[in-house]
Amino acid sequence: MHGVSALTTTTALTAVLVLVASWLLIGALGLVQSNRIGWVARTLFPLGALIALGVAGLGVVSLTTGFAAQTGVLAFGLPDMPFHVRLDALSGFFLLLLGSAGAGISIFAAGYFREGEGTAPGLLCLQYHVFLASMALVVLADDAYLFMVAWETMALSSYFLVTTQHRIPEIQRAGFLYLLMAHVGALALLLCFGVLHGGSWLMTFDSMRAATLSPAWAAAAFLLALFGFGAKAGLVPLHVWLPEAHPAAPSPVSAMMSGLMLKVAVYGMLRISFDLLHAGPWWWGMLTLAVGLGTALFGAVFAAVQTDMKRLLAYSSIENIGLIFAALGLALLCYAFDMRLLAALALAAALLHALNHALFKSLLFLATGSVLHATHERSLGKLGGLIRRMPWVATLALVGTLSLAGLPPLNGFVSEWLLLQAFLSTPSIPHAFTNMIVPLGAAVVALTAALAGYVMVKFYGVIFLGQPREPSLMQAHDAGWLERVGLAWLALGCILIGVFPQAALDAIAGVTQTLLGTTIQRGPTPWWIAPVAQAQASYNGLWLLLGMAGVIAMMFVLVRRMYHGRVRRVPPWNCGYPELTPRMQDTAEGFGQPIRHMFGPFFRIEREVPSPDDQAPRYRIQIDDRFWHGLYLPLARIVGWLADALSMLQRGRLAIYLLYSFLTLIVLLVFVL
Amino acid sequence: MNALALVSQLGGVVLAVALAPLLAGWVAQCRAWLQSRSAPSLLLPYRTLRKLFRKDAALATQASPLFRAAPYAVFGAMATAAAIIPSVTTDLPLARVADAIALVGLFATARMFIALAAMDIGAVFGSMGARREMLIGFLAEPALLMVLFNAFLMFGSTALPTIVKGTLDADGLTLHPSLAFAGVAFVMVLLAENARIPIDNPGTHLEVTMIHESMVLEYSARHLALIEWASWLKLFNYACIGFTLFVPWGIAPHTAGPLGLLLAIVWLLAKLAVAGAVLAVIETVSAKLRIFRAPEFLSMAFLLAVLGLLVHLLLQS
């Protein structure tokens, strides 16, 4: 142990930086023989996965050995503005998240990327590793300058990754929308940092921590941060890029964006609201909570009606981000009333859910990648029955599906359990009305979690179960071994966190200690959690798993022993109807129909129904986002109109432009003198 | 953890598994009496189970391993749920392992597996049933959670034994208005979740109206036996949750000896008899709702439970 702590105090930060630099090096090496798939995919990507493991390991080291922050100054940057870096518990936790999920994604990507799919593999390798490294740097940054540089690198590298298949117009459009939203968000962040330095013009986070802001300016900074990070994370109504960009990108990239990049936005929100602004008045928390809950419900409802498997997962990401921000808002709210323990509980729920979501959502996105490679189909209407052709992918995806649905004893359940426990304690908030409204948030969380189950049955049932909806699916093949290893790694993470929840909460304790100065109660064993008090609530993942497994095993043995195991294979009974075609199954549209029916006002539905005497009847239904037509298109029209108005200035004559320059100079001189 | 606790823990599960078919038989008998039909034997469910276990399983050619594993998973989840509900005694070592939220999670696990299995064959009714079951489930699950939340708020705990103890230790009988709302909501959820009229009809074999039945159409023999047993166990579990929340009298406290436990079992049987009769009355006097009305029914349950929550919070402050 002594050796480890020596490592922490001297070299953990250096080691992380070296690992990040080697990610960049790997990326550059990809260019050496950029078209040799054996070199790029089979050698460099596994190396990147190893480095990711190292990053995760160092994250654990920084979380377990004291919570002292390490800082350093890099010899890069502008002459009088060097890059500051810092490794504390919060960044350590997100490095753990980044590394553990990133390792699985990289191993999978090693088997996934192949030639002839848009960008050359070597270039892809560069973009991929720059993306990983920039996310790590965002987490490590200790001044606004490095933070913004890394943030923009992250946005740009992911933009190039999204547009891997840049010849398809749809993907170009999705990429452009993503870039636009990324920059609108980045502008808000720039303004936010502009407020945060509090007039000192020092851009290090240390000086921002020390700066005293008036309540109005602090609120402005908080709102700008919520807008900026919300645009990156996909909070409603800034979510529109997410369901476009995630499906457009290759699956490992979708997994990285959804699993990792959205969490980096969560990191930024935590860093600014808790660390730099020291949390604020209670309405900050209330606002974040309300936005989070709205986003969660919105995402779940929209996920239920999607017909494209990756769009479905993208909306489900919006839902999960909503839950994370709701927990974060609850933490802010409780902290404002100085209820430290409750704030720690909510924050732990947020962080654990972020980690869980990174694992199971990456797993599912990668599984869709395998399905996509095997079938060349993304539409749920043309899939089905793949559990028989792709047993490995189907089994591993089942773990992700059950985790996402929040079922015990997997990891998704643990974080939702923590969140509900946090809501349970909210009636003790010492503020009238708040203590009545906030507990009702539990109802929204419960509804969202239950809807997630619906969505997941649809996702898994339509893709992997039933009969194949297209004859070509009979040729589908299972994923290669590298892909399986990647999927298995993530599935293992889902199971381990579910069964040993206290181990994950131990990692989080460092973060809550650093940010809030307190931690939740430690459970008696790694598999037994009791965050507030044993008498109030406890959950034991391992025993629950063993209990269920024990009952199942006993029942199996009893049935086989007392009776028999005889099986006769027969055609499906189907209530006696002999003809059974794949078209008789529920389609994805059909499965979403009840939700469309119930939540009608959420959607903008365009429907074409044939008349009764149509010879070739065609049904068409398109479900759109109301925000798109109600908010974004009018906004785009206003921008277009303003641009038209400004084009009055563009006369196309040199003399007029010279006149503009002259007038500008005069005005500036008046100012200066 | 003493020996008696361990015995009562294991005994509780065995009792639930053994009594669940009896409860189903009792409800069917009461229904028949109320509808002036000649009643089937009280032991009919046991005979059905024996018959099904003996038969050869006829399995559809395209059935995947998931289809064969699902009945065991469903049964496992339901039996585990029975282990954490204090039906006879509050001295349950396992109740600390999983609280009431985990209980809802276990029900969700069972529902998810049965819905996935229903979609596996790709037959007409399976996926329709799965969709309907998930629709009912996603509305009933939060409603149940909100009902439980009412009790959590009252006693500051999500552990069911603590809730029971809280009610038993209270001085005198205090009426909680919030529990009235929660009670109505709970009965509505119970009806919906256990495939009872007015949402579903356990006796139906008409394809367009059934929910639970259409999901298990492709099952036969031992798999069907396990699924049916699990669904009876689910009704039993729901009844016991109702007892712990609303009528916990008769449940043996921690200090009870073997005699106290026996007395508690007698109490349980009496309560089950009354609950089964009430259920039969409700099923007899109400008509089945159209499937499109089911969401309204369940959102009413959800809103009632949330209203109960609000009433509690209002009265408290």
Give the C-alpha separation, A146 to A205, whole Å.
11
Note whether B159 contacts A574, CB cutoff 8 Å: no
Residues A665, A535, single domain; the answer is no
* Letter string b/e over residues A107-132, b meaning 16 or more CB atoms within 10 A of that residue's CB: bbbbbbbeeeeebbbbbbbbbbbbbb
User: Where is pLDDT greater, at A321 or A514?
Assistant: A321
Confidence (pLDDT) at A77? 76
- B298 touching A (Cβ < 8 Å): no
Partners of residue A595 in chain B, C-beta under 8 Å: 135
Count: domains in chain A: 2
Dump pLDDT digits (tens) for A399-428.
Answer: 999 999 999 889 999 999 999 988 888 888
Q: Which residue on chain A is closest to B110 by alpha carbon? A: A407
Could you give the CA distance from residue A423 to residue A443 in angstroms, rounded to a whole number?
10
Contact A536, B156 (CB under 8 A): yes
**Chain B stretch 3-32, residues whose beta carbon is closer than 8 A to a beta carbon of chain A:** 13
Give pLDDT tens digits for A587-617. Answer: 888 888 888 888 888 888 888 888 888 888 7
| DSSP structure string for A118-131 | SS-HHHHHHHHHHH
Exposed (0-12), middle (13-18) or buried (19+): which is B228, by Cβ within 10 Å?
A: buried
Q: Average of pLDDT values for A235-245?
A: 89
Whole-number pLDDT of residue A156: 93
Both A384 and A445 in one domain: the answer is yes
Same domain membership, residue A559 and residue A636: no
In this structure, the answer to whether residues A518 and A622 fall within a common structural domain is no
Do A317 and A416 fall within a single domain?
Answer: yes
Contact A572 B137 (CB under 8 A): no
Residues of A in contact with B51 (CB under 8 A): none
Distance from CA of B281 to the nearest CA of A (A): 30
Q: Min CA distance, A548 vs chain B (Å)?
A: 5
The answer to whether the beta carbons of residues A253 and A360 sit under 8 Å apart is no
Would you state the pLDDT for residue B174? 67
Q: What is the DSSP string of B69-96?
A: HHHHHHHHHHHHHHHHS-SSBS--GGGG
Q: What is the DSSP string of B100-123?
A: HHHHHHHHHHHHHHHHHHHHHS--
Q: Domain for residue A226, yes or no?
A: no
Test mutation, A411, A465, A559, chain B, max B CBs within 10 A: A465
pLDDT of residue B309: 86
- Least reliable range by pLDDT among A115-119, A431-435, B243-247: A115-119
Cα dihedral B172, B175, B178, B179 sign: positive
| Judgement on whether residues A639 and A557 belong to the same structural domain of the protein | no
The whole-angstrom separation of Cα B69 and Cα A465 is 14
Check residue A575 and give its pLDDT: 77
Q: Which of B17, B51, B103, B112 to mutate to test the interface with A (most CBs of A within 10 A)?
A: B112
The alpha carbon dihedral of A476, A477, A482, A486 has a sign of positive
With left for phi above 0 and alpha for psi between -120 and 50, is residue B31 left, alpha or beta? alpha
* N-to-C CA span, chain B: 39
A372 and A460 in a single domain? The answer is yes
The answer to whether position A61 is within a domain reads no
Roughly how many angstroms between the first and final C-alpha of chain A, as a whole number? 65
The minimum CA-CA distance between B147 and chain A, rounded to whole Å, is 10
Tell me which amino acid residue B167 is. Answer: T
A645 with A559, same domain?
Answer: no
| A103: pLDDT strictly greater than 80 | yes
Closest-CA residue of A relative to B129 is A586
Least confident of A28-37, A284-293, A355-364, B71-80: A28-37
Neighbours of B138 (CB within 10 A): 29
CB contact under 8 A, A424 and B145: no
Is residue A52 over pLDDT 90?
Answer: yes
Residue matched to tokens 């016991």: B240
Q: By residue range, what is the domain housing residue A372? A: 279-564
Closest to B59 (Cβ–Cβ): which among A544, A570, A594? A570
- Residues from chain B contacting residue A459 (CB–CB below 8 Å): none
How far B109 CA lies from chain A's nearest CA (Å)?
A: 6
Q: How far is B141 from chain A (nearest CA, A)?
A: 6
Helix (H) or strand (E) holding A190: helix A169-196
Q: What is the pLDDT of residue B11?
A: 87
Nearest by CB to residue A569, choosing from B59, B134, B158, is B59
Q: How far is B303 from chain A (nearest CA, A)?
A: 9
**Is some CB atom of chain A closer than 8 A to the CB atom of B168?**
no
Q: Which of A345, A392, A426, A544 to mutate to test binding with chain B, by most B CBs within 10 Å of its CB?
A: A544
Choose among A234, A374, A373: nearest CA to A313: A234
**For residue A14, is it within any domain?**
no
What integer is the mean pLDDT of A105-131? 84
Residue A160 structure tokens? 């190039």
Q: By three-state DSSP, how is residue A73 classified? A: strand
Task: Count Cα neighbours of A175 within 13 Å in the Cβ-side half-sphere.
Answer: 21
Taking an 8 Å cut-off on Cβ atoms, the answer to whether B138 and A453 are in contact is yes
Does residue A445 lie in a domain region? Answer: yes
Cβ–Cβ of B134/A457 closer than 8 Å? Answer: yes
Which of B60, B66, B207 is the closest to A572 by Cβ? B60
What local confidence, expressed as pLDDT, does residue A2 receive? 41
- Minimal-distance CA residue of chain A relative to B84: A544
Say yes or no: A441 and A296 in one domain: yes
Which DSSP string do the residues of A354-368 spell out, in sequence order? HHHHHHHHHHHHHHH
Q: Which residue of A has its CA nearest to B114?
A: A457
Length of chain A (residues): 673
Highest mean pLDDT among A290-299, A516-525, A652-661: A290-299
Question: A320-370, pLDDT tens digit by residue?
Answer: 999 999 999 999 999 998 888 889 999 999 999 999 999 999 999 999 999
Instruction: For residue A168, report the phi and psi dihedrals to the nearest 5 degrees.
Output: -85, 120
> What phi and psi values does residue A30 have, to the nearest 5 degrees?
-60, -30
- pLDDT at position A299 is 93
Q: How far apart are CA A626 and CA A632, in angstroms?
A: 9
Q: Which chain B residue shows the shortest CA-CA distance from A445?
A: B142
Residues A629, A521: one domain?
no
Residue A153 domain-assigned (yes or no): no
How far is Cα A606 from Cα A588, in angstroms, rounded to an integer? 17
pLDDT in tens, A74-95: 877 777 788 888 888 899 999 9
Are A464 and A338 members of one domain?
A: yes
What value does the mean pLDDT of chain A take? 88
| Minimum distance, in Å, between the CA of residue A110 and any CA atom of chain B | 29
CA distance A265 to A77: 23
Could you say which DSSP state residue B287 is in? P
Structure tokens at A211: 């700066």
Q: Which residues of A touch B192 (CB under 8 A)?
A: none
What are the residue ranges of helices labelled H in A250-377?
Answer: 251-256, 262-270, 282-304, 309-336, 340-375
Q: Which chain B residues touch A584 with a CB distance below 8 Å?
A: 122-124
Burial level of B302, CB count in 10 A (0-12/13-18/19+)? buried
Q: With an 8 Å Cβ cutoff, are A585 and B102 in contact? A: no
Q: Which residues contact A298 (CB under 8 A, 6 or more apart)?
A: A236, A239, A318, A319, A322, A602
Interface contact B316-A573, CB threshold 8 A? no
Residues β-bridged to residue A81: A78
- Tokens, residue A656: 């007029």
* CA dihedral angle for residue B181, residue B187, residue B188, residue B192, rounded to 10 degrees: 150
B125: contact with A, CB 8 A cutoff: yes
What are the chain B neighbours of A575 within 8 Å (beta carbons)? 124-125, 207, 217
Taking the C-alpha atoms of residue A87 and residue A101, their distance in angstroms, rounded to an integer, is 19
Indicate yes or no: CB of A539 within 8 angstroms of CB of B102.
yes
Q: Which residues of B touch A574 (CB under 8 A)?
A: 123-125, 217-218
Farthest-apart Cα atoms in chain A, separation = 101
User: Using CA atoms, how far apart are residues B285 and A199, in angstroms rounded to an integer?
Assistant: 74
pLDDT band at A444 (very low <50, low <70, confident <90, very high): very high
Q: Residue A568: which of B58, B94, B102 has the nearest Cβ?
A: B58
Shared-domain flag, residues A546 and A657? no
A vs B, Cβ pairs < 8 A, gives 252
Q: Which residues of B touch A388 (CB under 8 A)?
A: 62, 64
- Is B139 within 8 Å of chain A by CB? yes
Contact A556 B54 (CB under 8 A): no
**Contact flag B158-A421 (C-beta cutoff 8 Å):** yes
The alpha-carbon gap from A253 to the nearest alpha carbon of chain B, in Å, equals 29
Q: Which residues in chain B are closer than 8 Å to A525, comparing Cβ atoms?
A: none
Nearest-CA distance from B103 to chain A in Å? 9
pLDDT at A111: 85
Give CA–CA dist A228/A268, Å, rounded. 9
Q: What is the pLDDT of residue A67?
A: 61
Measured between beta carbons, which residues in chain A are less than 8 angstroms from residue B153?
Answer: 424, 427, 439
The answer to whether the CB atoms of B134 and A568 lie below 8 A apart is: no
Question: What is the full per-residue pLDDT of chain B (317 aa) written as tens digits?
Answer: 577 778 888 888 999 999 999 999 999 999 999 988 888 899 999 999 999 988 888 888 888 999 999 999 999 999 999 998 888 888 888 888 888 899 999 999 999 999 999 889 888 888 888 888 898 888 899 999 999 988 888 888 888 888 888 888 776 666 778 888 899 999 999 999 888 888 887 776 666 667 888 888 888 888 999 999 999 999 999 999 999 888 888 888 877 778 888 888 898 999 999 999 999 999 889 888 888 888 889 999 999 998 988 888 888 76
**Using 50, 70 and 90 to split pLDDT, how confident is the model at A66?**
low
Instruction: Determine the average pLDDT of the residues in A527-534.
Output: 78
> Directed axis angle between helix A441-464 and helix A309-336, to 10°?
160
- Tell me the two tokens of residue A136: 């790590």
Closest C-alpha among B286, B312, B272, B297 to residue B181: B312
Nearest by CB to A570, which of B60, B157, B292?
B60
Quick check: B56 and A454 CB within 8 A?
Answer: no
The tokens for A66 are 């004291």
Q: Distance (Å) from the C-alpha of residue A90 to the closest C-alpha of chain B? A: 29
